[in-house]
Amino acid sequence: MSGIMTGLLASALLMTPADGGAVLGPDGYKTLHLGQPETAAESTGLLIDKDATTACHLYYLHPDEGQTNVGSGVFADPAIGLVMIGGTATSHTPEGITLGSREFQVRSAYPDLEPVPPVPEVMRTQVPGHPDKYYRFAFNQGRVADFALESANMGAC
């Protein structure tokens, strides 16, 4: 019995970010929220470097929010607001998943994880209790290389 408890404790410790960090989910990140109008999101001070050259606008989180994966950011459809918020090295899901978490930890936290074709290393799962939101995880060598909170309605993105 003590071996089981030790294993559970070790697993919990592996899934808990050491520094606490900011939570990504279930509705957003700090003062950013899925569905939030772009102008309101811009006024938070969390977004920089807007790229509006396509129908889907891309922003980056301010560097103070932590390092992101190169392709990660915050995506907005001008008609419906924020549709995706990328994670950082200092943020985590409410279940403790962050950059570098192992795939088995993600699967333990989100047992309904499923692949997002056509890339088998990208998986997503519904945010617990929020059928209109998803967590998306990209894996590299069995670890989370990128993660994001996204709306079920991605609009032009």
C-alpha closest to that of 29 among 111, 156, 149 = 149
> Any idea which fold 2-151 has?
protein yfey like fold (2.60.460)
Contact 46, 61 (CB under 8 A): yes
Where do the domains of the chain lie? Answer: 2-151
**pLDDT tier at 6 (50, 70, 90 boundaries)?**
very low
Query: What is the pLDDT at residue 5?
Result: 36
18/13 Cα distance (integer angstroms):
9
pLDDT tier at 21 (50, 70, 90 boundaries)?
Answer: confident
pLDDT (tens digit per residue) in 48-62: 999 999 999 999 999
The answer to whether residues 96 and 16 touch, using CB atoms and an 8 Å cutoff, is: yes
DSSP state of 102: B
Nearest 5°: the CA angle 18, 21, 27 is 135
